[in-house]
Amino acid sequence: MNVEAELVELGRLAEQFQTVLGPAMLRAADDFACHQEAQMIDLITQRLYGLSDFMRALRPSVPEAWAIDPDAAARVVTLGDMACRLRGVPQQISSHAAGEFEAF
């Protein structure tokens, strides 16, 4: 399963988000409560990396003979690309050029 890889990538994205947005939020914050809200970005990053470390450490204790079919669980994931990664199937190629705006 690719949960570990997904958590690592989310941690990396949260860290990038923190790097880009965190300092601006702290400069704009005039009160302590706002500073605490800005620190949630760091907490999210730490938790995502903690979960990925947990999954990585747990993997060796799972017998190789065990197989998990992630299809049913991946069907509840509403992000198509993420669901594909979790199921271990190739991602669908987007018809949009890189950097092109894609409306929701």
pLDDT digits 0-9 by tens, 74-88: 888 888 888 888 888
| Residue 37, both tokens | 């809200």
Residue-wise pLDDT for 22-59, tens only, equals 777 777 767 777 777 777 888 888 888 888 888 888 88
pTM: 0.63
Rounded to an integer, what distance in angstroms lies between the CA atom of residue 66 and that of residue 88?
A: 16
Rounded to an integer, what distance in angstroms lies between the CA atom of residue 94 and that of residue 10?
A: 20
Q: Closest by alpha carbon to 92, among 82, 102, 100, 101?
A: 82
